[in-house]
Amino acid sequence: MPSIPPLFPSIPDSGSPKEPSFQFVNFEFLAMVEDKYAKELDVAVRIVHMACALCGGVQERLLSMSSDQVKSKDDDSPVTVADLSVQAIISWLLSETFGSQNVSIVAEEDVETISRADSAGLLEAVVNTVKESLESASKYGLKSPETTLGSLQVLEAISRCSSAGGPSGRPWVLDPVDGTLGFVRGDQYAVALALIEDGKVVLGVLGCPKYPVKTEGLNYHRQTAAQVSSTKADAWGKGCVLYARRSSGEAWLQPLISGDKMLEWPNCARLIRVSSIDDPALATRCEPVERANSNHSFTVGLAHSVGLRKQPMHVHSMVKYAAIARGDAEIFMKFAKSGYKEKIWDHAPGVVIVEEAGGVVTDAGGRPLDFSKGIYLECLDHR
């Protein structure tokens, strides 16, 4: 792996110019700090930056065409080249970095859709996208394959993500494109990666390619976050990556970067904290754009009953966790419809980031979310 300084910050460099909200990395100090998850977090952040670049390219192409780029899964939700390609490259990169025998992955996608006879075009597109993305891996300080991955190797990488999770072990949890409906519409989405150890989330990384870096780029009352990020991309900074490690008491935000700029990038990040607002009348509530799996009417009624009065901030996907973690909104409530089970990949990365930023995440009964029961968040108190 090329000698590139780790991406996550430590203490201010006294010789560097500072803005109030940014800190710069002291790499000599960082190298001496014993951190159980240092390598895992560093690699995960690099991978998510790379995956976001992949998604951005696919989204641009997707918005200009309609063909084999989108298929339907058995649950009728769309799956794109980006979902499958991101899962393939993250599976391959984690296995190459830590050894395939040491890596297990819980992920949303499987090979069933892409293996159908009528999905030859989709498979070809995924293989080409994986090839193009992995060719740039060395620019992110990651390993590029010695030979181009073929169809069988790509399918193997995707199918390798078949861990069932549980109370023991050390699985990675991946949602390659969280908020696929938002993605195919040019709206908000997230690349979400977490590491769980013995049922506890120990680190999380959220890539939010359409979420502006600067809080000033948001306008809760007139536009959705997606509209703001599209119209103000140049002014407010387009895209960011958030990450945190359990028990560090710190959560960080970086502007989204490309591989070409990686070596020259100043390696700075902003420490983020949840909002200090505790008056319901002043608090902003996140609200999902899609309401298929949530009891929206109950949530709206509850929000009104507890005194929330401001217009909600409409956001696709786990970007809602990003909004809470950096103080753009104060609360998010979701009450699933009867029969719907929450999956761990929809929450694990966001939960640790919000909690390390000073927030609290619980079920309706006030209990922490339990990630030790497999792929579902079982025994939730939905109220």
Instruction: Give per-residue pLDDT as tens, 208-256.
Output: 999 988 765 455 333 444 444 444 444 445 799 999 999 999 999 999 8
Residue with tokens 């959560």: 251
169-201 confidence digits (pLDDT tens): 999 999 999 998 889 888 889 999 999 999 999
- pLDDT tens, residue by residue, 314-368: 888 999 999 999 999 999 988 877 778 899 999 999 999 999 999 999 998 899 9
Q: Are 247 and 298 members of one domain?
A: no
Kindly indicate the confidence band of residue 373, based on its pLDDT and cuts at 50, 70 and 90.
very high
- 264 with 292, same domain: the answer is no
* Nearest one of 206, 166, 201, 232 to 326, comparing CA atoms: 206
The predicted structure's pLDDT at residue 314: 82
Query: Considering 241, 272, 303, which residue would you say is the last residue of a domain?
Result: 272
The verdict on 89 and 164 lying in the same domain is: yes
Distance CA 79, CA 55 (A): 13
Q: Is 80 a catalytic residue?
A: no
Q: Are residues 226 and 306 in the same domain?
A: no
Q: How many domains does the chain have?
A: 2
For residue 93, being part of any structural domain is answered with: yes
Q: Residue 231: its pLDDT value, please?
A: 42
Catalytic residue, candidates 80, 180, 224, 284: 180
Q: Lowest mean pLDDT: which of 72-81, 258-267, 372-381?
A: 258-267
Catalytic one among 13, 42, 83, 175? 83
Residue 295: the pLDDT is: 72
Task: Examine the domain organization and report whether 114 and 215 are in the same domain.
Answer: yes
Task: Establish if 151 belongs to a structural domain.
Answer: yes
Clarify whether residues 257 and 293 are in a common domain.
no
Please report the pLDDT score of residue 192 as a whole number: 98
Q: Are residues 306 and 256 in the same domain?
A: no
Is 65 inside any structural domain? Answer: yes
What are the DSSP calls for 216-254, one per residue?
A: GG--TTTS-HHHHHHHTHHHH-S-EEEEEETTS--EEEE
Is 83 noted as a catalytic residue in this protein?
A: yes
Is residue 217 domain-shared with residue 310, that is, in the same domain? Answer: no
Specify the amino acid at residue 298.
F
- Kindly tell me if the per-residue pLDDT of 268 is higher than 70: no
User: Is 319 found in the same domain as 225?
Assistant: no
Measuring CA to CA, which residue among 301, 306, 326, 302 is closest to residue 315? Answer: 326
Same domain, 123 and 234: yes
Please state, rounded to an integer, the average pLDDT across all residues of the chain.
82
64 and 212 in a common domain: yes
Predicted confidence (pLDDT) at residue 2 exceeds the cutoff of 50: no
Q: Which residues contact 39 (CB under 8 A, 6 or more apart)?
A: none
Residue 108 sits in a domain of what CATH number?
Answer: 3.30.540.10
Which residue range(s) make up the domain with 306?
280-356
Q: Does a structural domain hold residue 120? A: yes
**193 and 94 inside one domain:** yes
